[in-house]
């Protein structure tokens, strides 16, 4: 496995400016957003209670998820009424163009101080990169397992999400191989591949400048899984506000 190109917390914003993405190990991520890792760890049991994603067009049952939306403005984080997840076909040729209603993130997670601090801290990065403003955040809890023998973290392949920034936090790997992260320049040949392993490792992406994917996972012996938290930040409202009504 290729090791992630970790950078110090105080270089993260500059690294995104230069390369379009930054990768932080857990302690650096926690320092960067002024959060305690133990407080974040208290949220992890909720990943054992995710619901099966019934929208997979390949017929698989290897993905479980919950989804909720928030508006982040400075240190203020406000959850908005539950809404569908919608993406354009331009960004998700497999599952775009339709409203996908997932079960919301549990109140015990969405209301936790560690959760709001995480969203606010990453929102400050977004404002440092593109100017102070409200950020429209979609939060996705994912568990990809090997129920079908193979699990696909990104069944749509290498992609952009149609937002401004994407934060991918690796929360756990159990009994699997694969799940390599790949990041490519959207307008050039440059790319990098690595495997995130430590809980709360962070990949932070400028969605306009890079595309990304994670390779399929397979069980080492018995069924395993890979847990992530994906947070997308968009400056002009949620995707689908106009198209999906």
d(CA 152, CA 45): 22
Q: Is-contact 212 166, C-beta < 8 A?
A: yes
pLDDT the model gives residue 245: 34
Q: What is the mean pLDDT of each run of 10 residues along the chain (245 residues)?
A: 93 96 97 95 98 85 96 96 81 65 97 98 97 97 94 87 96 97 90 96 97 95 94 93 48
pLDDT the model gives residue 29: 97
């Amino acid at each position: 496995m290729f090791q992630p190109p970790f950078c110090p917390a105080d270089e993260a914003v500059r690294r995104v400016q230069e390369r379009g993405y930054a990768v932080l190990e857990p302690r650096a991520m926690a320092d960067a957003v002024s959060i305690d890792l133990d407080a974040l760890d208290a949220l992890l049991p909720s990943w054992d209670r995710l619901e099966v994603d019934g929208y997979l067009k390949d017929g698989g049952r290897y993905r479980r998820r919950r989804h909720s939306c928030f508006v982040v403005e400075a240190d203020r984080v406000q959850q908005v009424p539950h809404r569908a997840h919608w993406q354009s076909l331009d960004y998700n040729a497999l599952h775009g163009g339709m409203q996908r209603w997932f079960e919301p993130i549990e109140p015990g997670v969405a209301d936790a101080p560690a959760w709001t601090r995480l969203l606010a801290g990453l929102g400050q990065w977004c404002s440092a990169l593109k100017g102070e403003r409200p950020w429209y955040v979609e939060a996705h809890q994912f568990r990809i397992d090997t129920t079908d023998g193979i699990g696909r973290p990104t069944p749509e392949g290498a992609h952009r999400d149609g937002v401004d920034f994407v934060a991918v936090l690796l929360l756990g790997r159990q009994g699997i191989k694969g799940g390599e992260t790949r990041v490519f320049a959207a307008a050039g040949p440059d790319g990098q591949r690595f495997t995130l392993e430590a809980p709360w490792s962070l990949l932070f992406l400028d969605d306009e400048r890079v595309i990304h994917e994670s390779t399929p996972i397979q069980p080492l012996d018995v069924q395993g899984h890979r847990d992530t938290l994906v947070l997308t930040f968009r400056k002009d409202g949620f995707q689908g506000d106009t198209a999906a009504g």
